[in-house]
Amino acid sequence: MLHLWLACFHPGGSPEPEPAAGTDPVAAPSGTPAVPWQPHGLRHPTVRCTFEVPAAWTRSASPMPDHIAELSSAGMAPAMLIVEERVESDLPSAHAHVLAYYQSGLLTADGARVVTDVALTGATAGRLLSIRWGPPDAGRIETVVLLAFPGLPLVGMVARHPESDQEATEAITTVVQSTRCSLP
């Protein structure tokens, strides 16, 4: 059952195996990109995060075991946001793995492109990437935020919403700006 769930959410239909210890998960031995993949439900987060839950969004009372939190909005075109602990130890590695993941699937679709790829500065260092797929100005956006807190594992956020949903974009910004993480 777990394999079936993973296959539904993995761009090739079936999950890639985890890379062997000491190998680079971004490039397969043949030189072709491999999909950086982390199994759901098999690694519990070691950090706790607090953040503001935007109006009209709800926080799941029982997120997947490897998610720190899950949020969703209601409405005609619902949006969702997942907060998780990343496996990489630094921002450049996490950024490279995120790009490799999208280049292996989503970014191969017609009209798909990286809309935003910027460094976050201020109280929290990090990186924000937005990928659009679907028709221009009428597609969906997948936003990936990588957050680095001193002395803690990296935290990642993945949000999906319609490109035209400005309220979802503002809600995601609220969550990112208000996120603070610590060890339990």
Q: What is the pLDDT of residues 52-89, one digit of tens each?
A: 999 989 999 999 888 999 999 987 678 999 999 998 98
- Tell me, yes or no, whether 94 lies in a domain: yes
- Tell me, yes or no, whether 55 lies in a domain: yes
Q: Give every strand in the sheet of 125-133, ordered side by side.
A: 57-59, 67-73, 80-85, 155-162, 140-148, 125-133, 113-120
- Tell me, yes or no, whether 9 lies in a domain: no
147: phi then psi, degrees, rounded to nearest 5: -120, 135
CB-based contact 106:113 (threshold 8 Å): no
Buried b (16+ CB within 10 A) or exposed e, 66-91: bbbbbbebeeeeebebbbbbbbbeeb
Give residue 47's domain range.
Answer: 40-182
- Tell me, yes or no, whether 24 lies in a domain: no
Domain tally, the chain = 1
Q: Can you give the CATH number for the domain in which 64 is found?
A: 3.40.1000.10
Does pLDDT of 91 surpass 90? Answer: yes
pLDDT digits (tens, 9 = 90+) for 110-142: 778 899 999 998 767 899 999 998 877 778 999
Please state the rounded mean pLDDT for residues 21-42: 46
**Average of per-residue pLDDT values in the chain:** 78
Please state the rounded mean pLDDT for residues 131-156: 90
CA 69/CA 53 separation, integer angstroms? 11
CB-based contact 32:104 (threshold 8 Å): no
- Tell me, yes or no, whether 68 lies in a domain: yes
CB-based contact 70:45 (threshold 8 Å): no
Q: Name which of 46, 45, 97, 86 is nearest 67 in CA terms.
A: 45
- Tell me, yes or no, whether 137 lies in a domain: yes
What number of other Cβ atoms are within 10 A of residue 168's Cβ? 26
- Tell me, yes or no, whether 113 lies in a domain: yes
- Tell me, yes or no, whether 19 lies in a domain: no
